[in-house]
Chain A
Amino acid sequence: MNRLSRLAWWLVFIVGFLYFFLPLLGTFAFSMRSQPLFSAYAVVTDDPQFAETLIYSFIVGVLTIIVSIALIVPTAYWVRLRLPRLRPYIEFITLLPFVIPPIILVFGLLRTYSGGPLPLAGSDFGSNVLLVAAYTVLSFPYMYRAVDTGLRAIDVQSLTEASQSLGAGWLRILVQVIIPNLRVSLLSGAFLTLAIVVGEFTIATFLARPAFGPYISLLGGNKAYEPAAVSLISFGLTWIAMGLISLFGRGARTRVQVVGAR
């Protein structure tokens, strides 16, 4: 590697670094314009809506993780054990959220469940159900992928037969044998779900949910410096989630996790 080309690669890296860094710096500088220093952060974190929406989104995220794991793990396990012929079809379904982006998904959900036999969108509870359902759907691609790769690494057949000969039922096999073996995959999937759900805007807005994403947007329209503070906090939350993924996912096979459009 000669000196000139190394210099060129350094240049590429520096441009990339500036692209990452400058918007964050701009946001930080803007948040610091409110006097006294850091008052934008104080004002925002004192706003009861900040905590309320953040907690709401966090709870929705946790529910999404639970529903997603409860659906994906048994299905992927069962397909691997008994129905390998169905695998391409199940995989196809889990990839559909890439084809149907959030804006289309929420459009369809609103029209389907606004009237008809199941008017979920009409009530608060129903809308919460729709929100968790929509986020669960969004989690399918990376959740299924993570679980499927995790299952490939363990001997599902032998584990199942061993558990059965010890008298375990299906639920017990799943909860006490399969899930602990998928710990790493499930944790990365869970943190990625949190990173996406906390701060998601499109679906939460159209379902009129008091979530964190719509709150940031509302703040952006009404306040001067506080939105900058919240944006940075939100960036920090994404960073924490990603940090936890690389912490727990060390040595996991699939580190790359692709999420649909936002």
Chain B
Amino acid sequence: MTAASSLTAPGAPAARPGRRFGFAWIGVVPFVLFAAGFLVLPTAYLLTGSLQDTHGQVTLQNYARLSEPNLASAYAASIEISLVTAVGGGIFGFLLAYAVIAGGLPRFLRNALMTFCGVASNFAGVPLALAFTFTLGASGLLTPLIKSLGITLNIYSKTALELAYMYFQFPLMVLIIAPAIDGLRRDWREAAENMGATSFQYWRYVAFPILLPSLLGTTILLFGNAFGAQATAYELSGGTINIVTIAITRQIRGDVVNDPGVGYALAMGMVVIMAVSIGAYSLLQRRAERWRR
């Protein structure tokens, strides 16, 4: 801002927006520099590293190596876990939000649920992993109950990780989808009923098509949310589960044969998947907003 203040003397009338472009851009320089230094530059470092071999020659070899069984299965596991928790968390989160908004439950439950979802969607990482260990682990609270049902749950398994991720996935769905459900106007339902539509027809031809972009978009966001998670997985499995974020963890630590290029390629592969899912999310979100006023 100091740079900007020297341009227009205090007291001078403000220019109309969009006019007199001149040197006004200097005002955003501090922010852009910060973002460049601590966000873009580090990512660019990984990108250029991923395109070089150990001698600094340009190569795509690092990306080719992502198809090696160990790395490919890390991607497969990450995608599977993210898909399962996004779809599962998405469906359950939607049902839960609908239950408290339009399911005829007392009003105070809605406020309680929204607050709880705010907390739960932010209760991720180490404490969450520990909480699941104390509940479903070797000497967990529910372990005897689950065993008596004939189910064995390995706390280091993908299933256990999916259960833990669900703890922040469906609350996030509730938080994001609630405004969309609120946006379903009563007149639409009444209009449909007046024309003789059944409840199923109302859902099939009115409510569902309106909610679809939000539902799809948020599910994709949940996918990205699970895909990028590291702390929860690391703590729950003790760093043994083979997913992308843990594979990258090993690369940073240098626990694997020293070949930095592959680590960078692993990271960039992840960035690409995240970019596609966030891009799809914002496109769908924009579409969903058409129905709101």
Q: Does A154 sit within 8 A of B, measured CB to CB? A: no
Are A27 and B134 in contact (CB-based, < 8 A)? yes
Q: Does A125 sit within 8 A of B, measured CB to CB? A: no
Q: Does A22 sit within 8 A of B, measured CB to CB? A: yes
What chain A residues lie within 8 Å of B235 (beta carbons)? 201, 217, 220
Q: Does A42 sit within 8 A of B, measured CB to CB? A: no
Per-residue interface assignment for chain A, residues 89 to 129, with 1 indicating a CB less than 8 Å from any chain B CB and 0 otherwise: 01001011111111111111111100000000000000000
What chain B residues lie within 8 Å of A202 (beta carbons)? 125, 230-231, 234
Are A246 and B134 in contact (CB-based, < 8 A)? no
Number of contact residues on A: which range applies?
Answer: 35 or more
- Give the one of A75, A105, A137 with max B CB within 10 A: A75
What chain A residues lie within 8 Å of B124 (beta carbons)? 261-262
Give how many A-B residue pairs fall within 8 Å (CB-CB): 298
Q: Does A238 sit within 8 A of B, measured CB to CB? A: yes
Of the 9-residue stretches A9-17, A44-52, A58-66, A179-187, which lies at the interface with chain B?
Answer: A9-17
What chain A residues lie within 8 Å of B130 (beta carbons)? 27, 216, 220, 227-228, 231
Q: A1-B104, A9-B99 are in contact. Are A109 and B245 (CB under 8 A)?
A: no
Q: A26-B141, A136-B38 are in contact. Are A171 and B1 (CB under 8 A)?
A: yes
**Minimum CB–CB distance for B44 against chain A, Å:** 8
Are A170 and B245 in contact (CB-based, < 8 A)? no
Are B27 and A29 in contact (CB-based, < 8 A)? no
Are A112 and B41 in contact (CB-based, < 8 A)? yes
Are B232 and A262 in contact (CB-based, < 8 A)? yes
Q: Which residues of chain A in 37-92 are interfacial with respect to chain B, using CB atoms and an 8 Å cutoff? A: 71-72, 74-75, 78-86, 90
Are B127 and A235 in contact (CB-based, < 8 A)? yes
Are B271 and A134 in contact (CB-based, < 8 A)? no
19 sample A-B contacts, Cβ–Cβ < 8 Å, listed by A number: A6-B103, A12-B99, A16-B96, A19-B166, A19-B167, A27-B134, A82-B15, A100-B39, A104-B270, A107-B267, A108-B45, A140-B35, A174-B1, A201-B234, A220-B235, A242-B119, A259-B121, A261-B227, A262-B232
State the A residues within 8 Å of B (CB).
1, 5-6, 8-10, 12-13, 15-16, 19-20, 22-27, 29-30, 71-72, 74-75, 78-86, 90, 93, 95-112, 130, 133-134, 136-137, 140, 157, 160-161, 164-165, 167-171, 174, 192, 195-196, 199-202, 206, 213, 216-217, 220, 227-228, 230-231, 234-235, 238-239, 241-243, 245-246, 255-256, 258-262
Q: Lowest 3 CB-CB distances: which A-B pairs, in order?
A: A108-B42, A9-B103, A101-B228
